[in-house]
Chains A and B, each alone.
Chain A
Amino acid sequence: MRERWLGWIDGSLLALVFASVAVVVVAGLIQVSFGAFSMSIAQAWQAVFNPDVLLNPKALEAFFLGGEIPEMGRRSLIVWNIRLPRVLVGAFVGMNLAVSGAIFQAVTRNELASPFILGVSSGAGLMILLTLVVFSGLSAILPLIAAIGGAIAFLIVYFIAWKNGTSPIRLVLAGVIVSTVLGSVQTGLFFFADDLGVVQSAISWTTGSLTGTDWEQVRMVLPWTGVAMALALVSARQLNVLLLGESTAKSLGMSVERVRFALSGVAVLAAAASIAAAGIVGFVGLIVPHMVRNIVGSDYKKLVIGCVFVGPALMVAADVGARLALSPVQIPVGIVTGLIGGPYFLYLMRKQDNMGEI
């Protein structure tokens, strides 16, 4: 097998991974240092690497598995209990969205596909509004309901697109139509919201926000992220073969429909996990795979790994803006990703001659 195991990792991928880790670390440090309770970078750094917390199994257990948080200093408590989880949730959400987008782009063989292309966002958004406006008793399990809504919308889209099998174009069209219909219902529901707080809450869910995220969100999103990332990584070769088009994939012995559905399922899982934690954060899933593809090429083995690192970098950096730019007012992170992502995407469009097909 001769150096085949790691032979495919090349310089550009390594550079990308290191740069992304650096961005996450710097943005993360900024996040834990600044805020209503300010401390210096050095103090924040000390708090993050405070051995009393880091090496305390009880504390880690409390954070990652839930439970009573042991005694710790004030700075450590603020950093570890309030600010760090937000960074972690942001990183996981970015990871999920980026990988989900990468998968959907292969499944639809379209560079313009995003995690929300197949109706996922509209389904989740509708369920969020329904829960907040109509079934307010269920708001405790809102994240779960949102994720389920996304998954159901995806199934509806798949069902509509199915006619002796699906095709990328039918899937995308069905996605657009289902999104439009569900979007109208969503807008309609806003009229029935009688309270500004409910409307604001709904907007922050449907634009995506990390405000108030906690270890609880970390615990919720972590296992699904692990599952989705592992599945995406082992499926890299299937994704690569899908890129060769349906008839080639089939003649190579792939059960195209089954693989396409399964991979879409992985992507929906990742997207749903991110929705449950942060709501519908736009553009990350669209532009991150794009950026990574420009740097490492279209081999999904590298692309997925690149997305696992660049997604968190973009998301954590954007959340710095969302949390600190207009301090003390926090804006939903989805607004920042839209403000970064939109122009970047336009720039790509101007630069590249042909966009669309991978």
Chain B
Amino acid sequence: MTDNNDETRQRDGGSVTTVDRDFSQSGHRDGTNETASTFAGEELVIGYSSTEEPVIEEASIHVTPGEVTALVGPNGSGKSTLLKGLADQLSRDSGTVRLDGTGIDELSTKELARKLGLLSQENVSPDSLSVEKLVEHGRYPHRGFFDSLTDADQAAIDRAISLSGIDHLREREVGSLSGGQKQLVWIAMVLAQETGVLLLDEPTTFLDLHHQLEVMEIVETLRDESDITVVLVLHDIDQAARYADHMVALKDGAIYARGSPEEMITEKLLADVFEIDARVEQTDRGPRIEPLRPHHDDGKTEKRETAVAEQPIEPAREEIESRGRSDYTEHVNN
């Protein structure tokens, strides 16, 4: 249960100068989140039973409580695998995931589900199920075997439905909804779980623009009005830059860099991680990326574009440096 306390949170204007690699102490905002869940994965090695080599090798991630962290990276970089490992959906070969200081292996599946919610990339449900019934399943971890729905459960369901903006769909059958509407319903189900930590696996992929914005608006609301710690995998790096407080870039199963969107979205990072030439423009909605062309395997990069990339990188870099953050990336050994 997270209360929506009314404290006003503002992004601090660079007044904090301490640089700490551990984001849980970076003091990104004035309002610290004492009630927000802490969530961290330490030295995670995660793989699938079908392959010998683990997909994620020794990745550590500390998520800032109460804020939104986006995992980005190219296809096959392991971002979804990392998320599944954090959610205990994939068994870890080694490493620990800690939730509020407790290793998640010490929690029963039900206890974990009361604290950590996961929206998978693909979801299935019977077509004839009503929207409200599906959202009701989000209360599963809070109910005993014989418990019927309590008023508290009903209240949580109503909150989740209204937060997801699907009041008008309540009585509809899930099978009759569009892909975007379905996604909102699934998000409502995870919200009804009322967990302190929420993991979303590519919540906007395959959605039309309208529903992408709807989904990200929910994330924004969670960021601004609740203590929920959100970690999401995003395919769209523009979206990550716009809505996340922190970004973690993965490449080849390792964490390549992490930082705020302003720090992270640079032409160099895009070249290194995504292997593209791109132009980055700072706007008041955060950095905006204009992808230009992919790097090819033969290593040929066209001179003209390299010249563009070498232009001095605009205010962001200076601003970062003025905050004393000279090193914006943190490389993790493979």
A residues whose Cβ falls under 8 Å from a Cβ of B: 1, 4-5, 109, 164, 234, 237, 240-241, 243-245, 247-248, 250-255, 293, 297-299, 357-358
B89 engages A252 (CB within 8 Å): no
A247–B112 CA distance with the chains assembled, in angstroms: 14
- In the assembled complex, the CB of A75 is this many whole angstroms from the nearest CB of chain B, namely 46
A255 near B109: Cβ-Cβ < 8 Å: yes
Q: Report chain B residues within 8 Å CB of A5.
A: 148
- Chain B interface residue count, Cβ-Cβ cutoff 8 angstroms: 34
Contact A298 B128 (CB under 8 A): yes
Of the candidates A1, A234, A254, the one whose C-beta lies within 8 Å of that of B140 is A254
Consensus secondary structure, chain A interface? loop
Please measure, in the bound complex, the distance between the C-alpha atom of A133 and the C-alpha atom of B227, giving whole angstroms.
70
Instruction: Give me 20 other A-B pairs in contact (C-beta within 8 A), A253-B109, A299-B128 excluded.
Output: A1-B148, A4-B148, A5-B148, A109-B124, A164-B49, A234-B146, A244-B125, A248-B123, A250-B89, A251-B89, A251-B113, A251-B117, A253-B112, A253-B140, A254-B110, A254-B140, A255-B109, A293-B128, A299-B129, A299-B133
Question: Does any Cβ of A come within 8 Å of B63's Cβ?
Answer: no
Assess whether A244 is in contact with B137, with CB atoms less than 8 Å apart.
yes
Q: In whole angstroms, what is the CA distance A241 to B128 when docked?
A: 14
Q: Residues of A contacting B129 with CB < 8 Å?
A: 243, 297-299
How long is the Cα–Cα vector from A187 to B87 in the complex, in angstroms?
49
Q: Across the interface, which residues of B come within 8 angstroms of A241, CB to CB? A: 137, 140
Beta-carbon contact of A251 and B125 below 8 Å: no
Residues of the A chain whose Cβ atoms lie less than 8 Å from the Cβ of B143:
237
Known contacts A250-B109, A253-B109; A358 and B126 CB within 8 A of each other: yes
Contacts of B138 in A (CB 8 A): 252
The 8 A-B residue pairs with the shortest CB-CB distance in the complex, in nearest-first order = A253-B113, A253-B141, A298-B126, A297-B128, A253-B110, A251-B118, A252-B140, A245-B124
B206 interfacial by beta-carbon distance below 8 Å: no
Residues of A within 8 A of B271 (CB): none
A residues near B149, Cβ cutoff 8 Å: 1, 4
Task: Report Cα–Cα, A303/B193, bound state, in Å.
Answer: 26
The answer on a CB contact under 8 Å between B137 and A251 is: no
27 contacts between A and B (CB under 8 A): A1-B150, A164-B49, A237-B143, A240-B133, A241-B140, A243-B126, A244-B123, A244-B137, A247-B118, A248-B120, A248-B124, A250-B89, A252-B137, A252-B141, A252-B193, A253-B108, A253-B109, A253-B111, A253-B112, A253-B114, A253-B141, A254-B109, A254-B140, A255-B109, A293-B128, A299-B129, A357-B124
- In contact, A240 and B137 (Cβ under 8 angstroms): yes
Residues of A within 8 A of B114 (CB): 253
Q: Point out the residues of chain A lying under 8 angstroms from B148, CB to CB.
A: 1, 4-5
Chain A residue with the shortest CB-CB distance to B120? A247
Decide: A244 near B141, CB < 8 A? Known: A234-B146, A251-B117, A251-B118: no
- The answer to whether B113 and A243 touch across the interface, beta carbons within 8 angstroms, is no
Chain A residues lying within 8 Å of B108, measured Cβ to Cβ, are: 253, 255
Residues of B236-291 contacting chain A, CB below 8 A:
none
